[in-house]
Amino acid sequence: MIWDYQAPWWLPGGNAQTIYAAKLARRYSGPDPKWTRERWDTPDGDFVDVDWRSNDNSLPKDAPLLALFHGLEGSSSSHYAQAFAEETHKRGWHMAVPHFRGCSGEINWAPRAYHSGDFEEVGWILSRIRQQHRGHLFAVGISLGGNALMRWAGEMGQSARQVVDGIASVSSPIDLTASGNAIDAGINKVLYARMFLGTMKPRAMEKLKQFPGLFDPQELMAAQSLYEFDQVFTAPLHGFKNTDDYWERASAKPGLSRVQIPALLLNARNDPFIPASSLPTQAQVSDWVKLWQPAAGGHVGFASGAFPGDLQEMPWAVTEWMTQHG
């Protein structure tokens, strides 16, 4: 199966496709997604919150399950999570949205937060889901979550098959240096970096109240780019020397040749966050990895249909691919 997304005529350009999908496109046509939250204690004395779609309590326990790992500053309320909730409801699948630490509406307890290469956390979450679910298990990672998921698959190799039946990443910055530089440059810095920093800085300052002396608050508040923020906060808190070390070591791209489970990488070539030149070729990935690189779609955009459009085509294509290859 190959899905070649075609943007509607009324939605031209990567920025418009990105912003419209996030802010205005219809996310679902049926009932609002309902979530039931579980709190899981982590091995290091912290917690993660997992939201389970609760509209389908009558589903068989062993029906397929989709675990969705959200993007930077995302949650189960993100537009893509709600669109996938609609699609999995139609398919009769269960769905869970594990929240990276600090993203569920309550600050986490440990000094650490989350980061783009957090594959150990992804692995722990997937293993726990696998322990309690007997049916097919699929995982989708969006943007940051997709990089972490693909990084996990590359690290695990063949043993990943004991946990999941198939994975997919959507609009994921698998070359973090290329993507970080793109977000921090030109109009992207105004449109996107400022938006992310608007929530990341206050969250980091909350962390400082928990752990005084964790970082220099003046340096953090002076950060005007993701690079500068990661230099002060993300990199040192998660064991990296600096931003350059973090972006290099956390990127999933070098490990894609080691992936040994069905894996789909979907990246629009006009994604304002991800330069098309940084996307992998088939020669750079294993035979298990399928590349979808349509010309349009923006960053987690992919709205379709007549105005005002909806977001159902992409979740359908991704889950259909999983059905056929998982």
**Residues classed as catalytic:** 143, 271, 299
Burial per residue of 132-150, b for 16 or more beta-carbon CB atoms within 10 angstroms, e otherwise: ebeebbbbbbbbbbbbbbb
- The span from the CA of 123 to the CA of 152, in Å, is 7
Segment (H or E) for 14: helix 14-23
Beta bridge partners of 97: 51
- Tell me the residue type at 258: R
Burial of 230 (0-12, 13-18, 19+ CB in 10 A): buried
State the first-to-last Cα distance of the chain, in angstroms, to the nearest integer. Answer: 13
> The sheet that has 47-53: what strands, in order across it?
35-41, 47-53, 94-98, 65-69, 137-142, 166-170, 263-266, 289-292
Question: How many CB atoms within 10 Å of residue 29?
Answer: 9
213: left (phi over 0), alpha (psi -120 to 50) or beta: left
Q: How far is it, in rounded angstroms, from Cα 183 to Cα 284?
A: 24
Q: How far apart are CA 54 and CA 89, in angstroms?
A: 10
Residue 223: C-alpha distances to residues 46, 134, 192, 226 (Å): 28, 46, 14, 8
Look at the chain and count its residues.
326
